[in-house]
Amino acid sequence: MAPTADQQAREGSGIRTLLRFLPFLWPDNRPGLKLRVVGSFTLVVLSITLTTLVMPKAFGAAIDRMTAGREAAAGIAVALVCAYAAARFGGVLLDNLRNAIFETVGQEATRHLSEQTFAHLHQLSLRFHLERRTGAVTKIIERGSKSIDMMLYFLLFNLAPTVLQLSIVAVLFWTEFGPGLVGATALAVIAYIWFTKTVTDWRVRLREQWTEEDTATTARAVDSLLNFETVKYFNAEQREQKLYGRAVERLARSTVKVETSLAWMNIGQSFITNLLMAGAMGYTVWGWSRGQFSPGQVVVVNTLLMQLFRPLDMLGTVYRTIRQGLTDMDAMFRLLDTPAEVVDRPGAETLHVGRGHVRFEDVHFGYDPERPILKGITLDVPPGTTCAVVGPSGAGKSTLARLLYRFYDPNAGRITIDGQDIAGVTQASLRAAIGIVPQDTVLFNDTIGYNIAYGRDGAAQVEVEAAARGASIDTFIAALPDRYDSMVGERGLKLSGGEKQRVAIARTLLKNPPVLILDEATSALDSRTEEAIQATLNEVARNRTTITIAHRLSTIVGAEQIVVLDQGRVAERGTHAELLRKGGLYAELWARQASEREMQEAAE
């Protein structure tokens, strides 16, 4: 049957993936690793020579000496048996030495590719990470990393030695038993390889389906557990169990198909190898009965075929592992090939921030080209002042922060800091100059000290403690049993909302940026906690250029400038008093929130 276009495409992709991976196996400027590769393959050749050539010949010679007569043959037979045992041990010794020498090469290739992929994932845009499931991405990296070592092992230490063994067996059979046995062995090997490839191609398709089900099951579990609180809020435990149960059921069905197909392949392979064994042994025994072959030669044929069948029995596993490894590595390389949406321009310079003058100049932007969010926004935030951005939900407030951080680039217009277009400077220098206290602070599952120190790499403990005092969280930390070594839990769930916000403030203080973004930093807190944290934020914002994105207008009445966004445009701007006098959208929002506060106070 001719290969389908899909099969040809997969094979072509596999070859490209293999060629792309080979430089990791033979890295430039790493002569030590290259020497290990050469040394490992040399040991492979020596091991094959011992097990395929020396061992069977020694065993056969011992049998012939034993049949020649007890007295004359005993000493030589014992010596040959010892040589046979030594050859077996030598083969095992060389194989393990080979593994020990080559392990560094495999692990270095795995490490290098894993680090490269991980680094690239952090270079990708926010859009990529919002659209992809974290569980699925981590599974791709995990499978790709694991496939490297296995694939190297099978390519170099199973496939290549099998070809060498076939050559040695063919030469021995030709010289000692004639071309007939060579032809029969060749036909059996060809039939074995054809059967194994055909069945393995079928199994690979089943395996790919299994991989999709496995990835979906893992992603389902990770997504559900990350949203543990949401599940509890909506009493959805049974719903989540049902969805996960369906995913596991699909995975189980795929697993049954994969394992059943393996059983059929093993049966077919065993039939071919045992048919060859029966034919070859029958032929040599027939030749022995006619005086053509000695008993030792009969043993040589048996031993050679056993040595040959051992790697051939693994051919299906080898072929499938290599195919699956290429598939997993191809998925990993596709992650590496995913282009970053926001990249530094060639020759991008370092941002130099003096006064911290921030300007948005006629900025247009939309996450989807068909749905614009910002429609010509112009903002001017003088150095050391606070600009508050307010407006209805969906007006584009938080989008301004994402653009200033260059998570996205504007579709039109530009953003400058001290007159420097942020699109023309390095992202690292830009983000080093900006600090943010977000609405939803997500902490690492580590200590509270680690999370504060994350604000600046290499910060000393005394600086961490000073930042904690500045964020008014030092008293809380001092009351903890482990103080700064206290664990905060997954995503900081062991801390309250106010405590997490203070950690976010502390690490921003430690970073000490000239430009500060407060992205609705208190909107998720109760009134008392909000007042306490707002006082801290006001202190932090002093003498910094600050952009405050606010939902509660009571938190920004003291801002030097308030900008009201509506449907992606600047609807109003001015101070709190000026906007109230205008009686426009801001005044309407203020009146509505004042009414809500009065109703809440009356209810309490």
Write out pLDDT tens, residues 484-516: 888 887 777 787 777 888 888 888 888 888 888
pTM of this structure: 0.61
Q: In the sheet where 358-365 sits, what is the strand order?
A: 374-381, 358-365, 412-417, 420-421
Q: How confident is the model at residue 8 (pLDDT cuts 50, 70, 90)?
A: very low
Q: Residue type for 483, please?
A: R
Q: Residue type for 596, please?
A: E
Write out the H or E segment, with its range, that includes residue 287.
helix 237-289
Residues 155-169, mean pLDDT to the nearest whole number = 73
- Alpha-carbon distance of 441 to 471, in angstroms, equals 14
The strand pairing partners of 364, in sequence order, are: 375, 412
- Alpha-carbon distance of 524 to 552, in angstroms, equals 10
Determine the straight-line distance between the first and last CA of the chain, rounded to whole angstroms: 79
- Alpha-carbon distance of 275 to 278, in angstroms, equals 5
Write out the H or E segment, with its range, that includes residue 284.
helix 237-289
Q: In this structure, are residues 20 and 332 in contact, taking their beta carbons and an 8 Å threshold?
A: no
**Confidence at residue 438, expressed as pLDDT on a 0 to 100 scale:** 80
Residues 223-245, mean pLDDT to the nearest whole number = 82
**Confidence at residue 1, expressed as pLDDT on a 0 to 100 scale:** 43
Residues 583-591, mean pLDDT to the nearest whole number = 82
Nearest to 496 by CA among 533, 551, 462: 533
Q: How confident is the model at residue 279 (pLDDT cuts 50, 70, 90)?
A: confident
Q: How confident is the model at residue 393 (pLDDT cuts 50, 70, 90)?
A: confident
Q: What CA–CA distances, in Å, run from 134 to 128, 438, 492, 493, 511?
A: 11, 21, 18, 19, 28
Radius of gyration in angstroms for the set of CA atoms belonging to the chain, rounded to a whole number = 35
**Confidence at residue 532, expressed as pLDDT on a 0 to 100 scale:** 66
pLDDT over 70 at 73, yes or no: no
pLDDT digits (tens, 9 = 90+) for 325-381: 777 777 777 777 777 777 778 888 888 888 888 888 888 888 877 788 888 888 888
- Alpha-carbon distance of 490 to 154, in angstroms, equals 39
Q: Which residues, other chains included, contact 429 with Cβ-Cβ below 8 Å and sequence gap of 6+?
A: 350, 351
- The residue that leads in pLDDT, 293 or 197, is 197
Residues 176-202, mean pLDDT to the nearest whole number = 81
Q: Residue type for 473, please?
A: I
| Domain boundaries defined on the chain | 22-337, 346-433+550-604
Q: How confident is the model at residue 201 (pLDDT cuts 50, 70, 90)?
A: confident
pLDDT digits (tens, 9 = 90+) for 109-158: 777 777 777 777 777 766 666 656 666 677 677 777 777 767 777 777 77
pLDDT over 80 at 416, yes or no: yes
Q: Domain 22-337: which CATH class?
A: mainly alpha
Residues 450-467, mean pLDDT to the nearest whole number = 85
Q: Which CATH number fits domain 346-433+550-604: 2.120.10.30, 3.40.50.2300, 3.40.50.300, 3.30.1330.20?
A: 3.40.50.300
pLDDT over 50 at 167, yes or no: yes
Maximum distance among all Cα pairs of the chain, rounded to whole angstroms: 123
Highest mean pLDDT of the ranges 9-23, 38-52, 533-547, 576-590: 576-590
**Confidence at residue 131, expressed as pLDDT on a 0 to 100 scale:** 59
Locate all alpha helices (DSSP H) within 124-133, ordered by sequence: 126-131
- Mean pLDDT estimate for the chain: 76
pLDDT over 80 at 579, yes or no: yes
* Three-state secondary structure string covering 494-537: CCCHHHHHHHHHHHHHHHCCCEEEEECCCCCCCHHHHHHHHHHH
Length of the chain: 604
**Confidence at residue 2, expressed as pLDDT on a 0 to 100 scale:** 46
Question: Which of 39-53, 112-126, 589-603 has the lowest average pLDDT?
Answer: 589-603
Q: Which residues, other chains included, contact 251 with Cβ-Cβ below 8 Å and sequence gap of 6+?
A: 210, 213, 214, 216, 217
The string over 463-501, giving b where at least 16 C-beta atoms fall within 10 Å of a residue's C-beta and e elsewhere, is bbbbbbebbbbbebbeeeeeebebebeebbeebebbbbb
